[in-house]
Every structure is written in structure tokens, then in C-alpha cells.
Structure 1
Amino acid sequence: MIDYDQVLYADRYGLVQRAGIGRRGNLLVAIKNLFFTVFRFPECRSCEFLFFRSLVRGDYKNLLSDVASSVGSGERVIVEDYIRKSSKPALRAFWVVFKLLPRFFSFKADSFYERVFLYLRLCFYYRILAAVSKFEFGVLVLFADMQPTENLLAQYFRRKGKKTVTLQHGLYADYRDYPTVNVINYLHQPSEYFLAWGRDTAELICRSGDNRKVVICGKPSVAVSSPVKKAREEGKAEGLKYFTVVLDQNVFQEQNVEMLGLMVEYAKSKDLIMNVRYHPGNNRRFYADLCAGCVSDLDLDGSVFVVGHTSSLLHEMMVLGVPVFKFLSDIPCVTFPDDLVFDSIDDLRKVMGAARETDFRSLSNEYIAYFGDESLEKYGEFFSALKNDRAVALYERL
């Protein structure tokens, strides 16, 4: 049986977050998504590996493209960024609503309104499933199988005997009892294999469920190269005059504001330019006053140093040898060296002074074990083994 509570977990959690638009607003959104969308998929053909991504973000697109490049172009099909709005209702949606009625009571709901909303979302995911089912493939590679669509695909096709794999799309923190939907990152893994960046996440995945098969493959790319990065590697860092503050997702807005306030004062005291890297979900207008006089979106690897809160970009910059420091808070996050954590300007000065001889590249190995060509080789090795039924020899029992 498919676990529909797992498929719909994020939607159910999201209803609380979207309470502001009201019941009618939520139902209208669900109806529009179900009936007034069309899917633009690649040409349907047989392939060994079907790569699928439901999360829409530029950096996610790049990551999936990198991983997919580890198998031959003739062996793969990539399905991504496929949803388009339509002015005409999709006739198939009406058929799906009728066909799935026996599943109307197959998941948890706290009210009839919530059940109707979740049912509409489930019907939408089944529309996507029907479209994906037209492909003939041997291995389904999902970008993030905790997401509703991908969770349904993983459960459905694994029950059909297909090989299923999911990638790691960020560094996952163990939230324990902290209330956040992000717990699904490690609690929900319906795919047979999980391809991890490093041991830190691999161990979290393994201890969060039974019989998890984890293979550490690293992350093929960690940042966009720039002339400044080349200068750093040649020991010519004297000309670097900006540092970067990496903002977190909106649920940590309070910490973003506090961190920005500290770093604005630090920038003034050091006569340095402050570069702000916004999270894709941030409302930049909200931070306009705090960030007045700052620049944004310069290359991270050109920074004198990088400061953040819980963003995995901190660990990715470690791979490139860029000094990174974490703003202290009570929010659960990925493990981070205690001697690189600060909660005030004076504290930051102390940890920066103590970190002058720190080898940040070595520190990164726990989080991103391989990168660049070495990582691509690991992915290629895994997919080749999986294709030939030898993957069991690769996964780690952590």
C-alpha cells in the first residue's frame, strides 16, 4: 500500500503556514493547479535512467544536470520544470478525480475541508504520475523524494519493481523535536538508494530509518568559479574587499535580521563592503533598509570570508577553502565546528583571529566528501553498478 500520509505530509503542514489566505483561497489554489495546468515533458522514449525534479530552482537545475551528466546522453531522459498554466481545464483531471474517489479516506485529515484540499492535491500528483508512466525506463532517479510528487513516484514505481534512487539536495540538520516541515528530509525516504554528499548526512539518513541504503558520492559543483577565486588560490587575496552574509529561508527571518544587524556594524568598523546572498524565497524589500549600502549576489568564492546561519552554502564554501563563520542561535542545524561560531562582533573578531591557520578544505570532508570530477566519477560508478545489478556492493552500512 502507498503511504498517502507521507505523500501529503508537506501539503498538510503547509496548510497551517497558508492560513492567511483562508479556506476558500487554499481550495481555489488547489483547484487551479489540478484543472488548469498542462505538463511539458520531453519526447517520450525508452531510457535506462529517468531523472525527475519537481523543485523549481536554478541551482537545483544545475545540480541535477551535473549528476545526470555522469551517465551517457543516450541512456537518460530528464523531466524538470514541466508545469505550465492553462486557460482551459484539463479533461483528464476530471477523470482522475472520479477514479481516485476510493482513496478519499486513505489519509489523515483534521477536518472535511482539509480532506478535500489534500484530495485535490493527491489528484494533481496522480496526473503527473500518469504522465511519467508513459516512459519506459529501468531506473528512476529522483531529485528529492521527500517532496509530494516525487514521494508518490518513488513509492509507486518501487512497488512496480523499478530501481529507485534519490539525491541529496542540501545539507540536512537533525531537528529532533523542533517543529519544522524539514524533518521530511531524513524521515521520508521511499527510494531504495540515497546518494549522499558526505558522511554527516549519510549517518543522519541511516539512523532515521531501517534498511537505508546510502552511497556517498559528493557534490559535483559547489560554487561558480570566478577570477577572484583564482586569485585566492594564487595567494593574491590582498585585493579582496568584500565579505558575504548568506541569508536563510523565511522561517528563520528573526535570525536573518539579527545577523544582518551585527554584520552591518562590522562592515562599518572595518570599511569593508558587505555582499548579501539572499535565499531564493526571501522578500528582498523586507531587508531593504537593513541592507542599504550593501551589494548583493557577488560570487561567494570571491569573499574575504562568509557568514551564515544554517545555510549549507557555508559548508560548500569550506570545500573551496573560503573562511566561513556561523552565527549562533538555538535553531537546530548541520554540525559546525564550535570554534567557528560567534554571537557578537567581539566574538567574531576572536574566532576570526583564531582561525587564521585553519584548513577549511579539510574541515569540509565530513559534509562534502568529493567534488568536481571526483564526485562525477562516484556518481558514474554507482549508476553503472546499479544498471548491472552490482550496487549492493557500494552502499554503506553506517
Structure 2
Amino acid sequence: MKKFPTSLSLATAFLTLLSCTVAVNVDELFDVQGGKTDGGCDEFYKRKTQSGDLDNWVTEISYSVDASVTTIENYGQDPRVRRAMRAFFGIQNTGRYIPGTPTANAVDAVRLNIQRVQEFFNRQLHNDGTPYYPLGDRFLFCGSDFLVYQPDDTQALDFQAQDIFDGQGNLVRIADVPSYAEKLNEDADNDAWWSGFLTDTNGYYFSPTGGEYCDGTNLGLTATIQQLVPGPNGGAQNGHTLSSIVLCPYSFTESPQPNTYKDANALLTQRTDLAKAVPKSSTLLHEAFHLLFGAGTTGFLEDADEVYDIAACVTLARAQGERARRNPENYVFFIAHMYHMLGTDEGNVPESIRKNWDFAADGSGQGWVYGATETDQAM
């Protein structure tokens, strides 16, 4: 059972939200690809028993984002929270929370972003019982080998894997579809990759690597699958856009990160870098920010614009706070910090936190760490 200390400033509605959180299975959040190859997740999720690494990851994420939202609600009373939000989001530590001020507005923006992730992983429901994020257009793959390379001059297929014709009855090539040509031209190395030969999801990814993405040490990616439908005059037009997260097998089996929060917490001693105590589930958490917020000027940073190293994240927050508040890994580190600081001992389960730790920047140059330190009680 989750047991988080609450602040007197917490709204009643928010207390209700946290107290009603129930266990959610990964297949309630995604259409999970079956099988052990071709992007299948059977090695990491046992469908019959609803268990395995993926389900543990969802539980860990749910616990940790719940803890983080609770701590932010306690911003005005807890100096540890204020220091962490300054470190990862560049929010000026004024020592208090005054509604309407730049500090309060920035705090609220971060809280709402994490709350959105919380609502997703807790499968939050509307009053009529329908989920905020219903299934049907969101897919989870465990590998990129379901994607098959297609040359630009290949016949374009629609969402039913049928040939597309133009208004004159001529076959349409991938490169002749305007939106596809735009995607191909975004990067000189982009290629088209079809998802429908090895899965039931018919659409195109546009990427330099596609099916080869998980061949190395990559952890995961978030992408859209653009479907085509026949237009009113027989021509091709964009249809439904599907969202997908691809988790590479490396993120489960070979990543150097601890397997669970329980394992991560056991590694902590005085001055241990927080980056070493972020569990493997953080890959799914990171990709969820991309999934929920998208990219562009109003979305989150992606590709070359992102930063991942903890020192780089702290540097970004110091120099460009607003930009740091759009970088997924800044949230990953903040959430891990808050959970190690606030989580509770749940016994021999992945989300268990045996001992609470605070963290702070320490040292300089090659000796710099965002290190663990004995935590004080909230003031």
C-alpha cells in the first residue's frame, strides 16, 4: 500500500486522486505486441498472469510519480523539494509558494506535467468510467525488428495493407505521397519502414535506422505510425496517426541501471550519484513524456535537442530553466530523487524503498556528483 506523507496545503481533490490509485497492468495502457520476436514483448510480460518486467515497470512508475506530485504539493513547506526543483528545473528558490508569481507558475507547470503522466500510468477515469487515455491507437513493442525497409519507389499501402491508387487509377509510390515525401526529406538519411508485414499495425515509420534501431545499445524510442486511407477521389490521404513506444531488449537485459527501485536504493551510500540509482523502468517513463507531450515548440525536446547526462541536465536547468522543463530526462532524475526521498519500505517488491535519501550537487570538475546525502525531515 502506498504511504506518502501529505502536506496541509494539499487539495482535497488531490488527496482523493492519490488514495484511489489502484494497480494497473501494462496491457491496460498499451496494445502490447505479442511474441518473442518481431517486436514482441512476451519475454518481458507474461500475459496470462499479468506479470513480468513490464508490469513491474508500470508499478514502479506509478509509485514514483505519485510521490513526486505529492512532494511538489509540499513545495512551500519542504526546502528539499525547493532545492531539487531549482536543480532540475531552474525554478528560483524563494523560500515560499505565492500563487501567481513566476516561481509558483513554474512549480505548477512542472506539477501538471508530472500529474499528466500520473493520470496515464494510473489509468485515470472520467466520471462516466471511461479512461482518459483509451486503448486503440497506442502500441508497445519490445524491439525494432518488426519494421521492414521499403525503398522510396515502393508501392504505397493503406491502413488495410492494400495498394493505393491516385484519381486516375495509377499506383502511388511512397515518395509520391506529399506527407511521406516531407518526412523523407526531413533528414537526408531517412528511409520508409513498414510495420504491417510482421504485426497487425499497418503504417510507415520514417527514420534512418528503423528496424535496425535496437541492434546496438539504444534503450527506446517513441514514434508515430502514419496510416494512409483512400481519398474521396481515389487518391491517397493521411489517415489515423498511431503512437508507439519501442523498448529495446538492451533496456531490459544489458543496461547498467539497477533492475528495480529496491535494487537502486540498496546501492545508495553517502555521495552516491543519483544517476546510478535510476532504475531500468526509467526508460519507459522517459518515453512516456514523449508519448504524452509530443514534440515541436509546445512539446518536449527530442533527438539532438535532448540532454541525458545528469550534469548536463543540471547545467541546462541553471542556464535555461524553461527549456529544462521540456527535457524528459530532467523529469526522470527529479522523480527518482523524490521517490528515494519519500518512498517507503514495501518489503520484497520492486518499488520498495528501504532507506530515504536526499541528494545535492557536490564537488567540481571530474569529481562532481549529484550525490546522496542523509535526509532531514521536511521543515
Does the alignment reach a TM-score above 0.5? no
Instruction: Compare the two structures and name the one with the higher helix fraction.
Output: 1
Higher relative contact order (CA 8 A, sep 6+): 2
Under a length normalisation based on structure 1, what TM-score does the superposition of the two structures give? Answer: 0.23
